[in-house]
Structure 1
C-alpha cells in the first residue's frame, strides 16, 4: 500500500519534469528566433555588403529601405510629424517617412530634388528626380529595370544604359550613402 502512493508521486514528478523541459525548450527557441530576427534587421546592411549576390542587383539599397526602422541612422531627428526621420547631411536635409500603418511603405525626400518610394505591393522601388523629368525603376530585388521619361503627357520607358546606371548610383548614394558609410 505504501508503494502505490510513491509510484504516483514519481509519475507526477516525471510529468512535471517533462512539462518543464518542454516549456523551457519552447521559450528558449522563441527567444533565439526573435534575437536572430532582430539581428538580421539591425545588421542587414552589413550582410548585404559582405554576402555574395547576383550581378546587377543592389542588395544594399534593398536592405537599407526594407529595414529602415531597425538600422542605425546617424544624426537622425525622430521628431518628425506623422512618423519618420529627418537627417541633416552636408548636401541638405533628407526625410524618411513611413506612410500609413505599413512600415514597408517608405518615402524618402531630399528638399525638392529627389524622391524615393518603396511600395512592396506595387512590386518595386521608384527613384523620382524632380530636377529632371526622369523616374528610375527598380524591382523588389534591387535590379535597375527601366527609366521613365515623363516631361510630356505620354511617359516613355526606356532600358537603362551605362550613363543612367552611373547617374542612379550617384543619386542613390545621396539618398542612403551616409547610412552605409556609418555601418
Structure 2
C-alpha cells in the first residue's frame, strides 16, 4: 500500500512540475513570437513605436521574410542590413542582451541615431563631420521614423496580422505597458 501511495505522489509531482514548466515556457515563447501583433493592439504613448521595437527585439522568433537586398544577422545582437547599391546601405540593430536595451539606426549619409527601449530618439552621431553628436531636438523625428519604416517596415507588416492561437494580450500589456507609456 505504501509503495502505491509513494508511486502516485511521485507521478503527481512529476506531472505538476512538467505542466508548470510547459506553461512558463509557452507563455514566454507566445509573447515573444506574437509580440508585434500584441504591440499593435496595445495602447501606447505618442512618439513610441512598439511594433518596430518588438520586431527588432524578438527577431530570433518572429517571421522574417526573405527579400532582395535584405540580410539578417543575429550573433550577440540583431542586425538587419538593407543594401541599395555598393555604397548605399542602411542598418538597424538591437542588442536585447545588453545591460540596457537600445536600438541604433545607421543611414547611408553616415549618420547614426540611437534610440531607447521605447524606440524614442535619444541622440545621434554624424560621422561625416568627425563624429559630432546630434541633439535629438534638432532632428525631424517624423521624417526619421518614416525613413526607418520605409526601409524596415516590412518586418512589422509581415508580423502584425499573425494572430496567436491563444491570445495573451493581457499578459503582454502587464509586461510592456509601462515601457511604451
Q: Structure 2 length as normaliser, TM-score? A: 0.74
Q: Does 1:164 align with 2:136?
A: no
Task: Pick one of 129, 141, 152 that aligns with 1:152.
Answer: 129
Q: Distance in 1 between matches of 2:26 and 2:133?
A: 46
Q: What is aligned with 2:70?
A: 94
1:122–1:94 CA distance, 2 compared to 1 (3 A)? farther
Q: Does 1:127 align with 2:93?
A: no
Runs of 4+ in 1 over 6 A off after TM superposition: none
Larger Cα-atom Rg: 1
Give the conservation status (yes or no) of the 8 Å contact 1:137–1:144: yes
SS of corresponding position for 2:123: strand
Q: Distance in 2 between matches of 1:178 and 1:70?
A: 16
1:179–1:153 CA distance, 2 compared to 1 (3 A)? closer
* Cα distance, 1:57 vs structure 2: 2.1
Q: Distance in 1 between matches of 2:122 and 2:23?
A: 38
Higher relative contact order (CA 8 A, sep 6+): 2
Q: Does 1:115 align with 2:106?
A: no
Cα shift readout 1:104-160 (whole Å, capped 9, x = no counterpart): x12221113311122342741111112x23221101232211232332224132123
Q: What is aligned with 1:83?
A: none
**How many correspondences in the alignment?**
153
Q: Does 1:47 align with 2:24?
A: no
SS of corresponding position for 1:70: coil
Q: What is aligned with 1:33?
A: 24
Give the conservation status (yes or no) of the 8 Å contact 2:116–2:122: yes
Give the conservation status (yes or no) of the 8 Å contact 1:45–1:180: yes
Q: Does 1:173 align with 2:149?
A: yes
SS of corresponding position for 1:56: coil
Give the conservation status (yes or no) of the 8 Å contact 1:136–1:168: no
Structure with the higher strand share, 1 or 2? 1
SS of corresponding position for 1:142: coil
Q: Structure 1 length as normaliser, TM-score? A: 0.74
